[in-house]
Amino acid sequence: MENKAIFFKLLIEKNYILTYLPLFMFKRLNKLKLYLVATFLIVTTTVFSSEKNITYMQILQKPNDLDLNLKYAQQQGKMGNFKQTISTLERLTMLYPENIEIKLYLLSVLVQVDSPEKANTIIADMKLRKDLAPEDLETLQEIEEELKDREPSLWTLTADMSFGGVYSDNVNSVSRTRLKEDSDSVTGVNSAKYDRTLSGGLGLSATRPVGEESSFLINLSHTSSEQYMETDDDYQSYGLTLALDTVLGNQSLSPYFMLSMSDYQTDADSFSKMWGIGGFFPFGERNSFSYGYAFSDSKGNNNASDTTADETNSIGHSFTLGHDFILTEIISTSIGLGYSDSDAKVDAGNDYETYDFSFGLNFAFPWAYIAVGSAFSFNDYKREDTSVSSNKLRSDYTSTYDIMLTKAIGDIFPTIDPNRSLFINLSYEKLISEANMLNYDYIADSFSLSFSKSFRLN
């Protein structure tokens, strides 16, 4: 009874009744009273809600916190991430095995995502309980009947929209001396440095469960970019992604396949395909490790404005390894290592190997999410580019420093974004490139502002 009292107290205090409404519709309650309460809570949630987004790192930090985990399950459900909702509720049912209401909420989510096998297993187990109240048994029977009667609807459809702008003080990577090497001689550079680019994107995703621990994703995307002063970044891009999210033992694995096409206004069109696999696994309560491999095949079409585009056609391989550590409930760190190899159609100036190291510090403040990072890359080219210098083998070292802030608009204007699904992103990046050739020895700063929002379509 104590857990039940805590559960219903959280429903009222945290406005969870809106998320749990499908569950309560199974209950034999006074429907008029339920509708009045729900209507009142919709109004008060829209006007007064100030709950903050819960991060997965906070859940790892406090896995037994009922209040925090219920808020996280609610948040993930609103975002359409039912896999996290289900896994969170399943863990809560193990921590609070006597709490019937949590199991009923889990059942309502399983019904919503059409997972009849797992739902029927829970129903069968609950029917064996001798302390099951008559009204709870009646609720189980109603859920069981709905599982039998409803038509399958396995796909979850979502849309993602984004738009923003980037301002750069060195858009063309002009060298610090405004000089460059060209066919073994040194000449001046007159390219523009300051410019801004506007972009917008739309993505449509369809996901469906595959078995009890896997899901399949289809994503279509379109991006439009327009540069203000020049036209190098004026393009339309289109993409298709197929991905599987599954679990093997303690490993979370995500194999994927991607196709993309970029239609440049004043340059050759480019096409690429990529496939790979990523994975991660937890180690204790504070550590997690990630890894990945990707294969890419990129091609460019020659046209009147770029007759040598196919010279950079390349095959690439990349490997990554990462470690995340939860320092406190708010602070976490990320470390990454990477290696990639690119082999182009024309080797000179296009074949290279890259070695990467990155470090990030993340702050999950109640009022915003802030990430501070630094990355270092070493680029070693395999053959001299005689169009630049016939006696130098290019070698670069780049340092990138960035800071990013993400904030839900609903935290500031709850009436505009009551579900806190519209985000504003602010970022600053500084890139320092040091090379043994004048052309690639430069500094660039950029500032960006963007907005993003996700919609559930069904």
Residue 51: its pLDDT value, please? 42
Q: Which of 149, 172, 204 finishes a domain?
A: 149
Q: Is the dihedral of CA 136, 137, 141, 147 positive or negative?
A: positive
Does 230 share its domain with 142?
Answer: no
Does 278 share its domain with 401?
Answer: yes
Q: Which of 115, 149, 183 finishes a domain?
A: 149
Does 236 share its domain with 262?
Answer: yes
Q: Which of 104, 134, 149 finishes a domain?
A: 149
What's the predicted TM-score (pTM) here? 0.68
Does 250 share its domain with 387?
Answer: yes
Residue 203: its pLDDT value, please? 94
Does 215 share its domain with 86?
Answer: no
Alpha helices in 284-420 (DSSP H): 409-412
Neighbouring C-beta atoms of residue 75, cutoff 10 Å: 21
> What six digits make up the tokens of 282?
């937890």
Structural domain that includes position 127: 2-149
Does 257 share its domain with 176?
Answer: yes
Per-residue pLDDT of the chain (458 residues; tens, 9 = 90+): 444 444 444 443 434 433 344 443 443 333 333 333 333 333 333 333 334 557 666 676 677 777 777 777 777 776 666 777 887 888 888 888 777 778 878 887 877 766 777 788 888 888 787 777 787 788 788 877 777 766 556 788 889 999 999 999 998 889 999 999 988 889 988 888 899 999 999 999 999 888 777 889 999 999 999 988 887 778 899 999 999 999 898 899 999 999 999 988 877 788 999 999 999 999 988 899 999 999 999 987 776 666 666 777 889 999 999 999 989 888 999 999 999 999 988 777 788 999 999 999 999 887 888 999 999 999 999 888 888 888 889 999 999 999 999 988 888 887 887 777 789 999 999 999 999 999 999 999 999 999 998 887 87
Does 160 share its domain with 136?
Answer: no
> What six digits make up the tokens of 292?
């990945």
> Do the beta carbons of residue 275 and residue 295 sit within 8 Å?
yes
The residues, ordered by sequence, that sit 6+ positions from 139 with a Cβ below 8 Å of its Cβ are 26, 27, 28, 104
Residue 208 CA to residue 112 CA, distance in Å, equals 12
Does 359 share its domain with 232?
Answer: yes
What is the Cβ-side half-sphere exposure of residue 399, based on CA atoms within 13 angstroms?
4
Does 122 share its domain with 222?
Answer: no
Give me the torsion for CA of 379, 380, 382, 388, rounded to 10°: 70
Residue 183: its pLDDT value, please? 86
Q: How many domains does the chain have?
A: 2
Residue 278: its pLDDT value, please? 95
Residue 32: its pLDDT value, please? 38
Amino acid at 65: D
Does 57 share its domain with 193?
Answer: no
What's the CA angle centered on 210, arms 205 and 212, to 5 degrees? 125
Does 233 share its domain with 276?
Answer: yes
Pairing of strands 314-326, 251-264: unpaired
Residue 381 CA to residue 135 CA, distance in Å, equals 72
> What six digits make up the tokens of 306?
């770029």
Residue 151: its pLDDT value, please? 56
Does 298 share its domain with 243?
Answer: yes
